[in-house]
Amino acid sequence: MTNNLYPMTFTPVLKNYIWGGRHLEALGRELPPGIIAESWEIAAHEDGAAVVNNGRFAGKLLTEVQAELGLALIGKKCAWAQERGKFPLLIKLLDANRPLSVQVHPDDAYALTHEGNELGKTEMWVVLRAEPDAELILGVTKGTTPELFRAGIENGRLEPYLHRIKVKKGDHVCVPAGSLHAIMGGLLIAEIQQNSNTTYRVYDWNRLGADGQPRPLHIDKALDVINFGQVEPSLNEATLIEKKSGLRRFALCRNKYFVTEQVEITKGAVFSGNCNGDTLEIWGTIAGTAVINDVALPTIRFTLLPAAMGDFTVTAVTKTTLLRTYVA
């Protein structure tokens, strides 16, 4: 293993979309004036790249670190991403102060055909905070067909076809490419996704963008890729995969792009792992505080463990809940 590699932390990229607010300050983010919707915590995309803020790579963009380290950073299982000049994943925090648009993301095949070198987007959400009666839109209602859906868009009556799910703090949702969805108002969300910024909007609540004009819709492309077989899905449930003294691990989402686990560690207990060159690992605290090797992680912080880093330990400073993401 490459013994000069270490857990990297980042200065995030902030995005000021119209549905945001100021709630990311409560998660410890330093915000400029105005509306802030997203904090791209670990990002290497042409629309935003985070800067390393610790260790020997401090001051470098994650894109620059990948150019230098290659598979030692992202892992042999991500060789396809290296060949295409892509980082495999993107980690965000979202302040849904107001509802996001009703939207869908394409899969890789459609994106590569219609969006150049962009990827599709499979993603997942973990609810960090939720106002009472907060909800999401995911999938369609029973009886929805592409023809009915298009007619609903054209006559401004889309609501009957949108499946709503109430959510609370701690819930998680797996969102495969092709899922019709919208994060509604009153939610703070951690999002783990493919490294893509391709979104097809279907409906934007008849509101105007910052320029005073309606934001663009992408109805034909959306109808091409919406999975109308995703009918009234329920929330995903965590599956216990390991339990021992001081530690519990749960599987949240598993797909061909990433695996996300939730790891609960009692105060003073330790999780030991190894980055053996196969895959990077991304860890983030969603409750409590931890130390990975000698890098401190306060609440709601993420760190990137390079694929060739070797052994690592996660030590809970307090009772801690973490998200762990890697490529299987």
Q: Domain boundaries in the chain?
A: 10-225, 239-326
- Whether the predicted pLDDT of 302 surpasses 60: yes
69-81 residue pLDDT tens: 999 999 999 998 9
Provide the pLDDT confidence category of residue 83 given band limits of 50, 70 and 90. Answer: confident
The yes-or-no answer on residue 254 being catalytic is no
Q: How far apart are CA 318 and CA 307, in angstroms?
A: 27
Q: How far apart are CA 200 and CA 123, in angstroms?
A: 15
Could you tell me what percent of the chain has a pLDDT over 90?
92
Provide the pLDDT confidence category of residue 212 given band limits of 50, 70 and 90. Answer: confident
Calculate mean pLDDT across residues 8-15: 98
Q: What is the pTM of this model?
A: 0.96
Per-residue model confidence (pLDDT) at position 2: 57
Homologous superfamily of domain range 10-225? Jelly Rolls (2.60.120.10)
- Whether the predicted pLDDT of 325 surpasses 70: yes
The domain over range 239-326 is classified in CATH as 2.60.120.10: yes
In this chain, the answer to whether the domains covering 10-225 and 239-326 adopt an identical fold is: yes
Per-residue model confidence (pLDDT) at position 207: 87
Provide the pLDDT confidence category of residue 28 given band limits of 50, 70 and 90. Answer: very high
Per-residue model confidence (pLDDT) at position 209: 82
225-264 residue pLDDT tens: 999 999 999 999 999 999 999 999 999 999 999 999 999 9
Calculate mean pLDDT across residues 8-17: 97
Pair of tokens at residue 324: 């762990």
Per-residue model confidence (pLDDT) at position 117: 82
Catalytic pick among 98, 201, 301, 324: 201
Provide the pLDDT confidence category of residue 206 given band limits of 50, 70 and 90. Answer: confident
Calculate mean pLDDT across residues 209-220: 90
